């Protein structure tokens, strides 16, 4: 073999050896490149994707929670609004009823005053409406015979007129209460003081006598009547205000429709 052939053979051998090394190196390089790509790009991207999914899940959950809270708040607001509207409607209704009641009270008072105008002008009667009751106060001199606890003929007529007017205002069959005030001791005649030593006795007898007259002379059912003596105390004084009536008086009252029963 010539030197040239040996050189060629040696070159071929070197080339083959170099090629074989490259064949072994290239896969390793590709593997390294792939590993580098995975480590440098895929893993971070995957982690970022997972984080985004988690954030989206949390965001969706927060959105659901907010919607639930908003729905609850809306429900509570609607309930509160309905409650406020109901309360306002009840308040307006109550005010309207109160206004209507006051107007009715004034109407009843005016009706009673109109029916008893002659006696009011004479100063022997007074009309008042208070605490769900309408009542008429009468001077004892207009009801009883002098120095007695007996009802006079004029007193009987007056009591019947009063009971009729009150019954018309109170609904016809409402209870009537006859009350009597004896007045201060120095205003009571000596004859009556001798027969009835205490104001309680005198006022109680007068109240019972008036109730009896209402039943017997004015055809008021006994079941509708009650009698109470106030002695020299007058619970109706504030409602009557300043009147021309004498300290001793008779007061006939009736509960108005929607008001408290008489005597309570």
pLDDT at 149: 93
The answer to whether the CB of 165 falls within 8 A of the CB of 115 is yes
Q: What is the model's pLDDT at position 70?
A: 83
Does residue 154 contact residue 255 with C-beta atoms inside 8 Å?
A: no
Final residue of a structural domain among 83, 105, 127: 105
Q: Which of 105, 133, 161 is the last residue before a domain boundary?
A: 105
Residue 222 or residue 185, greater confidence: 222
Q: How much is the pLDDT for 2?
A: 62
Percent of the chain's residues with pLDDT above 90: 24
Residue 180's CB is within 10 A of a number of other CB atoms, namely: 31
Range of the domain at 28: 1-105
Mean pLDDT of the chain: 80
Hey, what long-range contacts does 45-53 have (CB within 8 A, 24 or more apart)?
none
Q: pLDDT tens digits for 146-201?
A: 999 999 999 999 999 998 888 887 666 788 999 999 877 777 888 888 899 999 99
Note whether 120 and 248 are same-domain residues: yes
45-86 pLDDT tens trace: 777 777 888 888 888 888 888 888 888 888 888 888 888 888
Q: How many domains does the chain have?
A: 2
pLDDT beyond 60 at 120: yes
d(CA 101, CA 98): 5
CA 59 to chain centre: 46
| Per-residue confidence (pLDDT) for residue 261, from 0 to 100 | 43
pLDDT for residue 20: 65
What percent of the chain is predicted at pLDDT more than 70? 74
CA dihedral of 175, 176, 177, 182, whole degrees rounded to 10? 180
Are 120 and 101 in the same domain?
no
Is 128 inside any structural domain? yes
Instruction: Report which of residues 3 and 230 the model is more confident about.
Output: 230
Task: Give 130's DSSP letter.
Answer: E
Q: Kind and range of the H or E element at 76? A: helix 43-115
Angle at 35 (CA atoms; ends 34, 40), nearest 5 degrees: 100
Same domain for 71 and 36: yes
Q: Is 11 helix (H, G, I), strand (E, B) or coil?
A: helix
Residue 262 maps to a domain: no
In a domain, 91, yes or no: yes
* Closest to 213 in 3D by CA, of 142, 143, 166, 128: 143
- Specify which of 29-43, 193-207, 249-263 reaches the highest per-range mean pLDDT: 193-207
CA 157 to chain centre: 46
Of the pLDDT bands very low, low, confident and very high (cuts 50, 70, 90), residue 25 is low
Distance, in Å, from the CA atom of 25 to the CA atom of 9, rounded to the nearest integer, reads 24
| CA 19 – CA 26 distance, rounded (Å) | 10
Residues 246, 260: Cα–Cα separation, whole Å: 28
Query: Model confidence at 262, in pLDDT bands (50, 70, 90)?
Result: very low
Among 78, 105, 132, residue at a domain's last position:
105
Answer whether residue 110 is part of any domain.
no
Residues 134 and 98 in one domain: no
What sign does the dihedral 6-12-16-19 (CA atoms) show?
A: positive
pLDDT band at 10 (very low <50, low <70, confident <90, very high): low
74 and 132 belong to one structural domain: no
């Amino acid at each position: 073999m010539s030197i040239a052939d040996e050189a060629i053979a040696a070159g071929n051998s070197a080339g083959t050896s170099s090629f074989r090394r490259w064949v072994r190196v290239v896969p390793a390089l590709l593997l390294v490149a792939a590993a580098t790509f995975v480590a440098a790009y895929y893993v971070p991207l995957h982690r970022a994707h997972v984080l985004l999914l988690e954030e989206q899940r949390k965001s969706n959950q927060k959105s659901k929670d907010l919607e639930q809270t908003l729905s609850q708040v809306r429900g509570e607001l609607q309930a509160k609004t309905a409650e406020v509207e109901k309360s306002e409607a009840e308040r307006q209704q109550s005010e309207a009823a109160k206004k209507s009641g006051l107007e009715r009270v004034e109407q009843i008072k005016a009706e009673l005053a109109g029916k008893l105008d002659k006696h009011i002008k004479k100063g022997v009667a007074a009309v008042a409406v208070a605490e769900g009751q309408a009542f008429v106060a009468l001077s004892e001199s207009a009801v009883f015979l002098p120095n007695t606890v007996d009802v006079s003929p004029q007193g009987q007529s007056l009591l019947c007129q009063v009971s009729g007017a009150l019954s018309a205002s109170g609904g016809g069959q409402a209870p009537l209460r006859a009350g009597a005030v004896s007045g201060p001791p120095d205003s009571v005649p000596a004859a009556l003081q001798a027969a009835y030593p205490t104001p309680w006795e005198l006022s109680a007898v007068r109240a019972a006598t008036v109730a009896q007259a209402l039943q017997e002379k004015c055809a008021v059912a006994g079941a509708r009547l009650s009698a109470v003596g106030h002695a020299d105390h007058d619970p109706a004084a504030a409602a009557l205000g300043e009147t021309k009536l004498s300290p001793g008086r008779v007061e006939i009252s009736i509960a108005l429709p929607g008001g408290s029963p008489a005597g309570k």
